[in-house]
Amino acid sequence: MTDRELLELAARAAGYKICARGSESVALVLSERKPDGTRLWNPLADDGDALRLAVACDMTIWADGVIVSACSGYGHDKVRATVAVSECGADKNYAVRRAIVRAAAELGKRDAGEV
C-alpha cells in the first residue's frame, strides 16, 4: 500500500473530508471550518497531524515498542486493530507517526468493508 493510500484510509477513519489529492505530494488537502476552508494534512510527516489523528481514532500509543492500538465503535460492535511497527534505522518519532497512520488506515479499511 502506498503512503497516499494509507493517508486516504486514515482520513476516512477519522471522518475527515478530503477535498484534493495533488499528484506531486503525499499530503492531502482537508476541508475545514477556517477562513480559507482547507488545510494541508500529512500525519506521516507532521507530529500535530499524527496526534490529532490518534485522538480522532481513540488510539492508545506505547512509544516504547512503537505499538498503536486503535478502536472504532463501542460495546459489542467495537472494531479493534493493533499495529506493531519496527522501522530499522528510522527515528522513533517517525515510527510512531507511521504506526498511527497504519492503525487508522486499518480502521478506514474496516469502515469501507475492505477487510
Tens digit of each residue's pLDDT (9 = 90 or more) over 56-76:
888 878 766 556 666 655 554
Q: Looking at this protein, which amino acid is placed at residue 22?
A: G
Read off the pTM. 0.76
**pLDDT at position 33:** 59
Strands (E), 8-74: 18-20, 28-31, 38-41, 60-62, 67-72
Dump pLDDT digits (tens) for 7-20. Answer: 989 988 888 887 76
Q: Measured in Å, how far apart are the chain's first and last C-alpha atoms?
A: 14
Q: State the pLDDT at residue 49.
A: 92
